[in-house]
Every structure is written in structure tokens, then in C-alpha cells.
């Protein structure tokens, strides 16, 4: 293939865009971070979208990547390089425009990419050489966290609509032995709580001898807050002394 | 897509499950009791690192660093479903990361623990860890700083060489 790697990646992005039939308002820019494994991905996607012309894919190899363990390494042209061209990470806005199936597939693309980068990083540490393109790791990580947040938003919205529950995992406000009130998240147990000896040892109430300590803690908190406010006030007074308003000159 | 799609389809219909099937690390899986459905993990958060073996391994063995929470079954399913690698056997061990080294404040610095998985491939496949950092003779571009630096280094090396007219005899010998 005479095309440069950058041109290939751009071509892959365009292929991906065509396969995935996104709404016209969203543009997949060429700076998108599509891994080279997008070849196999776009080919797999092409088997689903019937409107795609098979002649478009004659430039790329149409067999799915069957070499499993080869996917743990960079394509051989990146071996020994110091820099590798890679696009920008996925933003949350772009990910929210994708369908569930696309996000699911993208998760695995990113997962495989991250595995490859971790392998390269460990090997570079072993050989005491610089890893080609270390910034890719952060990009993939950020893309994955954003993808997860997009999916969580959708799940939360669905749950709220169907059941009215805000949180997926039930919980309640409880007070621990030290007097702190916190959100206790429930766990699954095979036996009821009154038969669970370890759970019973964990007291969710405050004994009365702890109350003086709670009071002292509260006083300390109030004192520190007041001290901070006084310090701020003193600073402002000093500033007012140095730069009084009466002598302010307007341009 | 592959036939294992049934395992990895995204749960779009809501069920009254208390936990979300998202992250696999740091997640409390639902309790299993007899008759419960098979646990499915969608969008696993586990990452495997292929490492070069420190000691000589048989040709069909591949060495991975896996998260501590992964089990042998998890490793096998992960490789078979996501990478389509036929796995015959998996053996794991936990490597303790040392807590002995101390920093400039004499505090002990802990290196993280990790789990090592030795995966034996099925169907008589072999795997050899490739050399990812081959020697590449990169010629610096014309007129760049690197080219000038290289030229300077070459000149210096030439200056350091002994007088060729002496025929390899060192300066130590007087004449």
C-alpha cells in the first residue's frame, strides 16, 4: 500500500464514519483516534450495514484479524520509532452521539489498544528504551472514562424513567460509632442481618460517651472556620490600607 | 460478529439488579446462589500486559500480567472471547512487590503487587516474544540540529583517534 500511515488512518476514519451512519450534524474529524484495528472493526461493521458497496474495501485486506496475540503489539512499522502519529481522544460530546452498539464495540477497540500500549510500555521498561508514543496511553484512558460516563448517564436516565430510582445501588444515611453521618451502601448477604454476627458487631449508632468528643470536634471546626474568616478580613483590611479607594485613579 | 455475541450484548432493557454491569475492577459482583443466571461482565475494565518471560518458558507458554482480581477462568474467557486465542491451560501466581526500598525521607516505598498468568496455547500453537525495538539507522534530515550534532560528534571522534602513521603503537612508548 503506497498510502502513508496518516492517510490510512484518515481513510479508516472515513470508512468507520460511512459504516456507522452517524447523524449529519456530527462530523468525524480526521484527528479522531481510530486505532489501526479499525480495519477489522470497519469490516465487521460493514457486514451489518447493507447499503455499503463492497468495492470500497478492495484497498484494505478484507480478512478479519485472526492473529490473536499479534494484537498485543503495535503494527511492525511502529517498532523502533520514537514518535507515533495518533489523533485526539474521544470527547464525551462525540460519544453521546453514538448508539449503544457502537459504544460497546468502541469499548473493546479501546481495551485492545490499551493492552497493546501497556505491553509496549512494559517491554520498553525492560529494554530500557523509550516507548514509541507514550501519550497514547493517556488518550485511551480518557476516552474510556468518558465512554463509561456516557453509558452511565444513559443507564441512570433509563432507570429514573422506568423505576424512579436515582441510584443503582440502594443505600441509606447511617450514623457510625464516631458520630459521623454517612451514606451506607447495601451489600448482598445470603443470611438476614440479625444472624450476621460480624455485621452486628459494627454498631450503627453512637454511644452516649462519644458525645463530649463530638462536641469538642464541632468546637474545633467552628474555631478554625472563624479563624480563617478573621484572617481573610485582616488581609483585606491590609490591602485597603495599602491601596485606599480614595486615591484610586480612573483612566 | 462472532457467535459469542450473546455474552457481550449490551443490557439495554432494565432489570431490577442492584449493581451495574460496567466496571469489572473494584466491583462487588452479585451473590451467587444455586439457580442464579450466569454472571455476565459487559465492558470489562481488566487490562492484560504481555510480558517477556524472565526465565525460559516452553514455546507454547505466554506470560501475562493481570489484575489481582482476575481468576484463571476470567483470563481464559478474556483471551478466548476478545482475542480469539485458543487457551488450553492457565496458571497464576501473585508476585509480591517489595516494600523494602526507602526514599530520601527514609519512608518505605511499596512497589505494587501484581498477578502473573502463564497461559498455555491449545492446538499446538507456539508464541515467541518479538523484538519490538529493532536497530533502525535513522539518518537526520538535512540542515537540522540533529545533523549538525552528529557531524560534530563524528569530528570529535576523529580527533580522539591516535596518529595512523604510528601503526597502532601507543604514545606510551617514547618514540
Residue B7 CA to its chain's centroid (Å): 26
| Rounded Cα–Cα distance for residues A51 and A56 (Å) | 12
The phi and psi torsions of B141 (rounded to 5 degrees) equal: -70, 155
* Look-up of cell digits 500486559: B49
| Rounded Cα–Cα distance for residues B21 and B169 (Å) | 76
Selecting from A111, A118, A169 the residue whose C-beta is nearest the C-beta of B19 gives A169
- Say what angle helices A100-127 and A135-163 make with each other, to 10 degrees: 150
Indicate yes or no: CB of A68 within 8 angstroms of CB of B10.
no
Indicate yes or no: CB of B50 within 8 angstroms of CB of A68.
no
The mean pLDDT value for A48-77 works out to 58
Partners of residue A159 in chain B, C-beta under 8 Å? 14
- For residue A38, the model assigns a pLDDT of 44
- The larger pLDDT score, comparing residue B89 to residue A8, is at B89
CB count within 10 Å of CB A72 equals 24
CB count within 10 Å of CB B55 equals 5
| Rounded Cα–Cα distance for residues A197 and B19 (Å) | 25
The ipTM estimated for the assembled molecules is 0.74
* Burial (0-12, 13-18, 19+ Cβ within 10 Å), B66: buried
A62-76, B59-73, B150-164 — most confident range: B59-73
Indicate yes or no: CB of A118 within 8 angstroms of CB of B47.
yes
CB count within 10 Å of CB A115 equals 23
How far A84 CA sits from the closest chain B CA (Å)? Answer: 14
- The tens digit of pLDDT for each residue in A221-246 reads 999 999 999 999 999 999 999 998 87
Mapping DSSP to helix (H, G, I), strand (E, B) and coil, where does residue B32 land?
Answer: coil
| Rounded Cα–Cα distance for residues A16 and A39 (Å) | 9
Indicate yes or no: CB of A104 within 8 angstroms of CB of B10.
yes
- For residue A50, the model assigns a pLDDT of 36
Please state, rounded to an integer, the average pLDDT across all residues of chain A: 80
- For residue A93, the model assigns a pLDDT of 96
Indicate yes or no: CB of B14 within 8 angstroms of CB of A188.
no
Question: Which three cell numbers mark A72?
Answer: 498485543
Using CA atoms, how far residue B59 sits from A73, A79, B54, B73, B116, in Å, is 18, 23, 14, 22, 17
Selecting from A81, A103, A119 the residue whose C-beta is nearest the C-beta of B50 gives A119
Ramachandran quadrant class, A196 (left: phi over 0; alpha: psi -120 to 50; beta: rest):
beta
Regarding pTM above 0.90, the answer is no
Partners of residue B135 in chain A, C-beta under 8 Å? 80
How far A152 CA sits from the closest chain B CA (Å)? Answer: 8
Selecting from B82, B84, B130 the residue whose C-beta is nearest the C-beta of A66 gives B84
Q: Say if B135 is an interface residue toward chain A (CB within 8 Å).
A: yes
* Look-up of cell digits 518471560: B53
On whether the CB atoms of residues A142 and A148 are closer than 8 A, the answer is: no
Selecting from B14, B33, B47 the residue whose C-beta is nearest the C-beta of A158 gives B14
Q: Give contacts of B 144-173 with A, CB under 8 A.
A: none
Nearest chain B residue (CA) to A159: B14
Percent of chain B with pLDDT over 70: 83
Amino acid at each position: 500500500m503506497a498510502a502513508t500511515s496518516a492517510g490510512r488512518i484518515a481513510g479508516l476514519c472515513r470508512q468507520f464514519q460511512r459504516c456507522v451512519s452517524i447523524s449529519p450534524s456530527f462530523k468525524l474529524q480526521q484527528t479522531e483516534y481510530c486505532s489501526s484495528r479499525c480495519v477489522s472493526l470497519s469490516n465487521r461493521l460493514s457486514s451489518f450495514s447493507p447499503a455499503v458497496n463492497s468495492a470500497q474495501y478492495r484497498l484494505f485486506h478484507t480478512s478479519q484479524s485472526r492473529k490473536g496475540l499479534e494484537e498485543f503489539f503495535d503494527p511492525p512499522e511502529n517498532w523502533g520509532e520514537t514518535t507515533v502519529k495518533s489523533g485526539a481522544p474521544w470527547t464525551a460530546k462525540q460519544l453521546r452521539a453514538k448508539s449503544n452498539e457502537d459504544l460497546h464495540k468502541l469499548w473493546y477497540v479501546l481495551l485492545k489498544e490499551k493492552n497493546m500500549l501497556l505491553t509496549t510500555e512494559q517491554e520498553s521498561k525492560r529494554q530500557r528504551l523509550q516507548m514509541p508514543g507514550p501519550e497514547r496511553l493517556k488518550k485511551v484512558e480518557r476516552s474510556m472514562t468518558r465512554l463509561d460516563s456516557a453509558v452511565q448517564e444513559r443507564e441512570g436516565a433509563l432507570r429514573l424513567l422506568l423505576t424512579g430510582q436515582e441510584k443503582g445501588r440502594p443505600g441509606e444515611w447511617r450514623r457510625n460509632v464516631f458520630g459521623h453521618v454517612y451514606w451506607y451502601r447495601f451489600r448482598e448477604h445470603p443470611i438476614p442481618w440479625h444472624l450476621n454476627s460480624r455485621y452486628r458487631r459494627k454498631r450503627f449508632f453512637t454511644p452516649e460517651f462519644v458525645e463530649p468528643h463530638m462536641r469538642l470536634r464541632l468546637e474545633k471546626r467552628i474555631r478554625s472556620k472563624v479563624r480563617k474568616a478573621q484572617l481573610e478580613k485582616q488581609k483585606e483590611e491590609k490591602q485597603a490600607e495599602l491601596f485606599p479607594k480614595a486615591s484610586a485613579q480612573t483612566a | 460478529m462472532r457467535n459469542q455475541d450473546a455474552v457481550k450484548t449490551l443490557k439495554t432493557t432494565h432489570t431490577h439488579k442492584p449493581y451495574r454491569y460496567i466496571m469489572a475492577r473494584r466491583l462487588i459482583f452479585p451473590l451467587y446462589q444455586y439457580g442464579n443466571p450466569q454472571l455476565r461482565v459487559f465492558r470489562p475494565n481488566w487490562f492484560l500486559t504481555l510480558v517477556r518471560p524472565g526465565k525460559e518458558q516452553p514455546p507454547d507458554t505466554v506470560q501475562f500480567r493481570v489484575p489481582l482480581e482476575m481468576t484463571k477462568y476470567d483470563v481464559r474467557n478474556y483471551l478466548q472471547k476478545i482475542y480469539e486465542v485458543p487457551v488450553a491451560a492457565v496458571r497464576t501466581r501473585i508476585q509480591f512487590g517489595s516494600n523494602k526500598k526507602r526514599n530520601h525521607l527514609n519512608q518505605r516505598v511499596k512497589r505494587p503487587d501484581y498477578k502473573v498468568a502463564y497461559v498455555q496455547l491449545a492446538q499446538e500453537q507456539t508464541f515467541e516474544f518479538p523484538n519490538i525495538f529493532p536497530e533502525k539507522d535513522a539518518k537526520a534530515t538535512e540542515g537540522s540540529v540533529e545533523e549538525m550534532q552528529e557531524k560534530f560528534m563524528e569530528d570529535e571522534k576523529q580527533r580522539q583517534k591516535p596518529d595512523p602513521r604510528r601503526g597502532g603503537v601507543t604514545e606510551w612508548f617514547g618514540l
